[in-house]
Amino acid sequence: MRRYIVRRFFISVVTVWTIATVCFFLLRLLPGNPFLSTTIMKQDMVDKMMRYYGLDKPLWQQYITYMGNLLRGDFGYSLKYAGRSVNYVIKSTFPTSAQLGMQALFFGIPTGTLLGIISAKRRGKELDYAFNALSVIGISVPSFIIAALLQYILGLKLGWFPVAQWKSFSHTILPTLTLSFGIIASHCRSMRTLMLEVDQQDYLKTARAKGLGETRIVFFHQIRNAIIPMITGLGTEIAGLLMGSYVVEKIFSIPGMGSYFVTSIQGLDYTMVLGLVVFQGTFVVFANFLVDILYVIVDPRIRIS
Amino acid sequence: MKKLRNLLLVLLVATLLFGTISGCNTYSGGSTSTPDQSTEPTSSGTDNENDDNGSGTEQPTVKETTFTFVGDQPNTLNMILSVSNIDSHIFYLTSAMLFRPYDGVSYPEVCEDFTVSEDKTVYTYKLRDAQYSDGTPITAEHFAYYLLARLDPEMGSPMAADLINTYGFLNAAAYNAGECSREDVGIKALDEKTLEITLERPIATFDGKLDIYPLREEFVKEKGEALGGTPDDLEYSGPYILKEWVLDGYMDFVKNPTYIDADKSFPTTNIRMVISSDHNTRVTMFENGEVDCLMNVGNDYLDILKDYIEHNPGGGHQAIQFNRLNQDPAKAAILGNKNFRKALSYALNREAIVAATNPSSAPLTRLVSSNHAGIREDSLFTEDFTPNTVPAAGDVNKAKEYLDAALQELGYSSVSELPTLEYLTFEVPTYRLIAETVIDQWKQLLGLENISILLLPVPQAIQAMMTYDYDIYYTSLSSGDDPIEILSMWVTGGTVNDITGSGRNLFENEKYDELVAEAIVTFDRQKRMELLAEAEQIILEEGPIEPLIVDGIYYAVAPYVEGFVYSSDYYQFNYLVVNK
Amino acid sequence: MIRDNDIKNTDFKFIDIGSMDTESIVRPSTSYWPDVWMRLRRNRLAMTCLTIIAVLTLLAIFAPILSDYEYDATNLSKANLPPCAEHWFGTDSVGRDLWTRVWVGARVSLMVGLVGAIIPFVIGTIVGAIAGWFGGWIDMIIMRIIDVGLCIPSMIYVILIILYLGGGAKSLIVAMAIMGWMGSARGFRARVLQFKNREFALAAKTLGASPKRIVFRHILPNILGNIAVGLASFIPSVIFMEAGLSFIGLGIAPPMTSLGQLASDGAGKYRTFFYQFAIPSLVISIIIFAFFMFGNCLRDSLDPKLRDQMLINGRRGRKDMAGKKVSADE
């Protein structure tokens, strides 16, 4: 077991390094450079800026310099926003995105799972249909539509919640709801499916035949077995949510990290993109690592050789 | 019961976790210097009583007032690397200036007095006593360093060419090309209070009132890469100190008591700039009374805020650019054909296009836009000179005539024989809409079906333009403060004309070059403007661009704000008073 | 509690087994797939969803052809008209008929959704099966490749694809393929893993079955249902993803449009021209909803263990041996 953990850890590190490398070179495939903007500059000015930032050096040399800095935890400075270090951007925006993501998760996952369990137990009845339909609606509507609708109805028309920005707890409610929609819906669906699958298993029939109470069956046997496949995707899901959502952050004017992902790629801000990607990559890879370990612990049947 | 209890247990745990998370304070809003931001409508106001604020320029500095507005977040506050005028808006507030422009006029600030030599090439400025917020005196050396650092080829400033073209300091071009050293440049501090500027030749449009900031070399070197990133990495010598900058959230400014004219201007003690990229949100904040002013109101909301908005015309130009240097000779011939260009231009009803796609802008049928001064300082160039150009509503019949002439010249018997042309534009929603509209108008009115739209992100689009890898490009150019700025972009070797510096120019016209070159040194204002008008006529006829739209902007100001002046380059809050 | 005198011998009646036809065939004879189809047909919800999809597809194909307007024909004097007799869905800000645009956009969304889902799904399934079955180093490498691939922002290669393949539906499909195969590979691998060590698989292995036979003959049928459901759920996810890309600005090249593009253009306008937001949003949501719902029903139909409840008397209730209805509850 321990050998497995050590090996997985090592592989995780290699994965992160691969992510950084692939991203580094992939970015350079895009034509253009960070200094092309609507302020027209002649080529010689652009060249001077490239030289100032060391972007005119041979690519492999830039790569080595970058990796060296990376090992020291230095993501460098943004190329588009002089003086703004990538570390600073991450430090300022990540807590906001993370808080939003976690709120959505802590609200969404239990709610969704619960609804899924209820839906499975009440299978065939009205409650099942209702939850079924609602959960499908929840994943059917693109998030910017949900966001706009919530903003319009709950924020503007009814005035229950602030429409945008990130200034107090009540400001977080609408964006959290928007994000939770999808989470609740997908977890409700998957939990219901898994519960139903497990439901027909022989060991449950045995338990029922033995005369065990339904509650005990549900909690001790059904849920635990159903949860295992759900854990698989949890790592990526959590990591993805903590990184912020461009759509939600844009519509609700939240100073999070999600928008930086998009704008830095659109602007070819190499250092910023790489910094964010490495940050996210580390998160995701290690989240998956933890989840895989959890998986093995929880389900003794699956021993990944 | 057990089932219920377990369920409740799960819910309790989840709620506790949820509560803990939401207790985290990552919020970007609660600052003591601003009134409570809630969704209640208007003026919860400040805690202090309102004095009787007349409209005078003298304000008691004791009273705390706050002005909250929505503006654009600066890209950087590093003066050397700053390229956008979004940044200069902030510099105006945080830094002292040699001359401070206000409402179209430049007033001396740190400069006490200046003299000009006979031949108008040497300008000598005498400085007053002024200091940074930490007490260090501002010296002439600092102003000199600001210019020199931006000309230094090793400091990577993108504005060097601009400075050279606009002012032409002695040896500045050579210095930037690495051919001489800093000491040879005609920007010198003769002593602590004397700054001397030497130009290579007299420039008619330069009145000597340089709107430059002081910059300390030691500070720049100390901060290195971090310069201009956070409030601690800035020097303050201006009306306000940047107290807090929450990334993508807001910027808080507080009045700087050591500012040289602290008691004469900038009466508002606290300024908060809220940063929000969503138009919807901005408008809602304004309606709620959370902000006192919106610097930019989105097109869709002009109706909603119609009681508060004002229009400021004269922004960047948008034009259709034809690449006559296309690698494909057949395309090059078409794109270089004057009749073809005219056909496409006359087919467009600019008024209708503007009304449909971007109501805050205005149709543009010439190169000089409507807020440039003309023969006299108080006249408009656009009124003094009317070129012979396409009417704003277009002229379809003439367009068809031009098209027939073009086809004949080029040897095609019908429009459908033309090779497919590609229209390159930015991946920005307004530009996309304009592209779709323009292409469709050409299709409907001229039968031009072989045109496709290529939408690329900004860097890729500009890269394609700079490598002449396009057919038709939708360009956006700044219009500058003086007609000469935009016209000199198109001389042989000009910024836009010869963008790669390789000597290939999109527009080559000797007469045009002559006229502009002469205008630069013509001090007689009327004569100069006449030369420029003539040059404008030439480029409108023969040039590779067909102007389409001039940007405008709508801003909204609450009625209790007095002394608001809109400027496209600076936040001119010099006499702004908030009467809440 | 049951007391002794509550139940008497006379309460019980002896049913002679001879009086029942033990050999009678209660249900028509059938095999797996026709059975699935029959159950699906009887499922009202599934049929409704299928009908919705069919109707919308037909509209997408024929409505623009039959319409008087071209989807890209601007008419600057008729901008921003709300739905009326001439323009059933109104016009947009440059006077284009929204009815035509919505259905042309639906064409793009559906095509990108269908093709853009099948391709990565197939790729992902194969890759996932290989990873899941063989395990060990192969599994590790494939999973790490997927890890890396998922962490690279998809925007980068979407822009690259648009640059080199133009901006049409073709490049969108390729982009979706690259973005999509990894997710389905991962999910599929997990499924294969689940079944790999089950008793029946181990039994087959003991009996000497080759890996290929085990996968295709034993494991696959168990997961086939999942595959079908997965595909039915993947299509709407792709449509969803395409809407997301449009919001960022990487949608289909103009003047062509897609539902996602229309919806995101409208998103900023819900205060001023609500219909420009509502209509495309509604259409795209309905399409996605119908696919997901159908997937749900498909899954329910595919599970043989759910037959009893669903086949006889439709979805509600089943009969006991004597023909009396009992509740659908376990």
What digits encode the pLDDT tens for the residues A122-131?
777 777 778 7
What pLDDT is stored for residue B503 in this prediction? 84
Asked if residue A226 is part of any domain, the answer here is yes
Tell me whether residues C249 and A31 touch, CB distance under 8 A.
no
Q: What is the identity of the amino acid at C146? A: I
Asked if residue A295 is part of any domain, the answer here is no
The pLDDT of residue C214 is above 80: no
Residues forming CATH 3.10.105.10 domain(s) in chain B: 317-551
Query: Predicted confidence band at C316 (pLDDT cuts at 50, 70, 90)?
Result: very low
Residue of C nearest to B425 (CA): C254
Same domain, yes or no: A164 and A263: no
Residue A41: domain span: 2-87+259-284
Q: What is the mean pLDDT of residues A88-97?
A: 92
Distance CA C253, CA C209 (A): 51
Tell me whether residues B285 and A165 touch, CB distance under 8 A.
yes
CATH (residue range B317-551): 3.10.105.10
Q: Nearest CB to A99: which of B26, B457, B460?
A: B26
Tell me whether residues A38 and B476 touch, CB distance under 8 A.
yes
Residue of B nearest to C250 (CA): B427
Give the model confidence (pLDDT) of B305-362 as tens digits: 989 999 988 788 999 999 999 889 999 999 999 999 999 999 999 999 999 888 889 9
Asked if residue A291 is part of any domain, the answer here is no
The sign of the torsion formed by the CA atoms of A164, A165, A171, A174 equals: positive
Residue environment code for B4-27, b if the CB has 16+ CB neighbours within 10 A, otherwise e: eeeeeeeeeebeebbeebbeeebb
C31 or B154, higher pLDDT: B154
Same domain, yes or no: A186 and A251: yes
Q: Nearest CB to C144: which of A15, A125, A142?
A: A15
For residue A2, give how far its alpha carbon lies from the nearest alpha carbon of chain B (Å).
Answer: 31
Distance CA A118, CA A131 (A): 9
For residue A121, give how far its alpha carbon lies from the nearest alpha carbon of chain B (Å).
Answer: 13
Same domain, yes or no: A109 and A166: yes
> How far apart, in Å, are the Cα atoms of B476 and each of A88, B82, B83, B320, B425?
33, 19, 16, 9, 10
Same domain, yes or no: A46 and A188: no
Distance CA C314, CA B507 (A): 78
Nearest alpha carbon to residue A107 among A180, A170, A165, A34: A180
Tell me whether residues A83 and B225 touch, CB distance under 8 A.
yes
Asked if residue A289 is part of any domain, the answer here is no
Q: Which residues contact B62 (CB under 8 A, 6 or more apart)?
A: none
Residue of A nearest to C196 (CA): A302
**Residue C34, SS3 per DSSP:** helix
Chain B residues with CB under 8 Å of C253 CB are 452-455
Please indicate, yes or no, whether the overall pTM of this predicted structure exceeds 0.95. no
In a 10 Å sphere around its CB, with 0-12 CB exposed, 13-18 middle and 19+ buried, how is residue A61 labelled? exposed
Chain B residues with CB under 8 Å of C159 CB are 457, 460
The secondary structure of chain C in percent helix, strand, coil, rounded to multiples of 5, reads: 70, 0, 30
Chain C residues with CB under 8 Å of B301 CB are 271-272
Interface chains of chain A (3 or more CB pairs under 8 Å): B, C
Chain A residues with CB under 8 Å of B28 CB are 96, 165-167, 255
Q: Which two tokens stand for residue A241?
A: 């949510």
Sequence length of chain B is 580
Give the model confidence (pLDDT) of B537-555 as tens digits: 999 999 899 999 998 899 9
The secondary structure of chain B in percent helix, strand, coil, rounded to multiples of 5, reads: 35, 20, 45
Asked if residue A292 is part of any domain, the answer here is no
Percent of chain A beyond pLDDT 90? 23
Distance CA A179, CA A108 (A): 8
Query: Predicted confidence band at C27 (pLDDT cuts at 50, 70, 90)?
Result: low
What pLDDT is stored for residue B238 in this prediction? 93
Q: Which residues contact C298 (CB under 8 A, 6 or more apart)?
A: C40, C46, C225, C228, C229, C232
Tell me whether residues A26 and C148 touch, CB distance under 8 A.
no
Q: Which residues contact B37 (CB under 8 A, 6 or more apart)?
A: A165, A167, B29, B290
Percent of chain A beyond pLDDT 70? 94
Q: CB-side exposure of B173: number of CA atoms within 13 Å?
A: 8
CATH superfamily of B2-255: Dipeptide-binding Protein; Domain 1 (3.90.76.10)
Q: Is A200 near chain C, with CB under 8 Å? A: yes
Domains of chain C (ranges, CATH numbers): 33-324 (1.10.3720.10)
Tell me whether residues A93 and B276 touch, CB distance under 8 A.
no
Q: What is the mean pLDDT of residues C91-118?
A: 92
- CB-CB contact of B557 with B293 (8 Å): yes
- Contact pairs from chain B to chain C, CB under 8 Å: 73
Asked if residue A302 is part of any domain, the answer here is no
Tell me whether residues C285 and A141 touch, CB distance under 8 A.
yes
B293 or A303, higher pLDDT: B293
What pLDDT is stored for residue C225 in this prediction? 67
Query: Of A155-169, B422-436, C116-130, C252-266, which range is least confident?
Result: A155-169
- CB-CB contact of B521 with B202 (8 Å): yes
Tell me whether residues C254 and B436 touch, CB distance under 8 A.
yes
User: Which residues lie across from C318 on neighbouring strands?
Assistant: C326
The pLDDT of residue A194 is above 90: no
Tell me whether residues B356 and C95 touch, CB distance under 8 A.
yes
What pLDDT is stored for residue C46 in this prediction? 84
What pLDDT is stored for residue B196 in this prediction? 94
Residues forming CATH 3.90.76.10 domain(s) in chain B: 2-255
For residue A259, give how far its alpha carbon lies from the nearest alpha carbon of chain B (Å).
Answer: 10
For residue B17, give how far its alpha carbon lies from the nearest alpha carbon of chain A (Å).
Answer: 7
For residue B356, give how far its alpha carbon lies from the nearest alpha carbon of chain C (Å).
Answer: 6
Distance CA B432, CA C93 (A): 12
Tell me whether residues A144 and C140 touch, CB distance under 8 A.
no
DSSP tag of A155: I
Chain C residues with CB under 8 Å of A265 CB are 153, 155-156, 159
Chain B residues with CB under 8 Å of A98 CB are 26
Chain C residues with CB under 8 Å of B298 CB are 268
Q: Which two tokens stand for residue B426?
A: 């930015």
Q: Nearest CB to B433: which of C93, C162, C253?
A: C93
Residue of C nearest to B430 (CA): C265
Q: What is the mean pLDDT of residues B280-294?
A: 87
**Residue B194, SS3 per DSSP:** strand
Same domain, yes or no: A82 and A106: no
- CB-CB contact of C313 with C323 (8 Å): no
- CB-CB contact of B576 with B561 (8 Å): yes
The pLDDT of residue A41 is above 90: no
Instruction: Supply the DSSP string of B42-71, one letter for each residue.
Output: S----SSPP----S-S---SSS--EEEEEE
Q: What is the mean pLDDT of residues B239-256?
A: 93
Distance CA B428, CA B426 (A): 5
Same domain, yes or no: A72 and A139: no
Instruction: Return the CATH number at A222.
Output: 1.10.3720.10
Tell me whether residues C155 and A261 touch, CB distance under 8 A.
yes
Residue of A nearest to C259 (CA): A142
Helix (H) or strand (E) holding B191: strand B187-191
Crossing angle of the two packed helices C274-302 and C44-66, in degrees rounded to 10: 140
For residue C293, give how far its alpha carbon lies from the nearest alpha carbon of chain B (Å).
Answer: 28
Tell me whether residues A93 and B28 touch, CB distance under 8 A.
no
For residue C206, give how far its alpha carbon lies from the nearest alpha carbon of chain A (Å).
Answer: 18
Interface chains of chain C (3 or more CB pairs under 8 Å): A, B
For residue C73, give how far its alpha carbon lies from the nearest alpha carbon of chain B (Å).
Answer: 6
Give the model confidence (pLDDT) of B7-50 as tens digits: 556 666 666 666 666 666 677 654 333 333 333 333 333 333 33
For residue A69, give how far its alpha carbon lies from the nearest alpha carbon of chain B (Å).
Answer: 14
For residue B67, give how far its alpha carbon lies from the nearest alpha carbon of chain C (Å).
Answer: 27
Q: Kindly report the average pLDDT of chain C as a whole number.
A: 80
Same domain, yes or no: A115 and A251: yes
Nearest alpha carbon to residue C247 among B281, B360, A249, B436: A249
Highest mean pLDDT among B475-484, B555-564, C194-203, C288-297: B555-564
Q: Which two tokens stand for residue A34?
A: 């960070």
Interface chains of chain B (3 or more CB pairs under 8 Å): A, C
- CB-CB contact of A9 with A16 (8 Å): no
Q: Please give the backbone phi and psi of residue B318, each rounded to the nearest 5 degrees, phi first.
A: -120, 130
Tell me whether residues C284 and A247 touch, CB distance under 8 A.
no
Q: What is the 3-state secondary structure (H, E, C) of B458-473?
A: HHHHHHHHHCCCCCEE
Same domain, yes or no: A66 and A128: no
The pLDDT of residue C326 is above 50: no
- Contact pairs from chain A to chain B, CB under 8 Å: 213
Percent of chain B beyond pLDDT 90? 56
Tell me whether residues C144 and A246 touch, CB distance under 8 A.
no
Same domain, yes or no: A128 and A162: yes
Tell me whether residues A19 and C148 touch, CB distance under 8 A.
yes
DSSP tag of B251: E
Tell me whether residues C265 and B437 touch, CB distance under 8 A.
no
Nearest alpha carbon to residue C304 among C31, C42, C50, C48: C31
Chain B residues with CB under 8 Å of A94 CB are none
Reported ipTM: the value is 0.83
Tell me whether residues B439 and C255 touch, CB distance under 8 A.
yes
Chain C residues with CB under 8 Å of A277 CB are 151-153
Q: Pairing relation of β-strands B421-426 and B451-456?
A: parallel
Same domain, yes or no: A176 and A221: yes
Q: For chain A, what is the domain count?
A: 2
The pLDDT of residue A86 is above 90: yes
Q: What is the 3-state secondary structure (H, E, C) of C200-269?
A: HHHHHHHCCCCHHHHHHHHHHHHHHHHHHHHHHHHHHHHHHHHHHHHHHCCCCCCCCCCHHHHHHHHHCC
Same domain, yes or no: A11 and A70: yes
Distance CA B525, CA B530 (A): 9
Chain C residues with CB under 8 Å of A261 CB are 153, 155
Same domain, yes or no: A45 and A113: no
For residue B398, give how far its alpha carbon lies from the nearest alpha carbon of chain A (Å).
Answer: 33
Chain A residues with CB under 8 Å of B29 CB are 165-168, 171
Nearest alpha carbon to residue C101 among C169, C242, C109: C109
Distance CA C133, CA C192 (A): 7
Chain C residues with CB under 8 Å of A125 CB are 328
Q: Is A191 near chain C, with CB under 8 Å? A: no
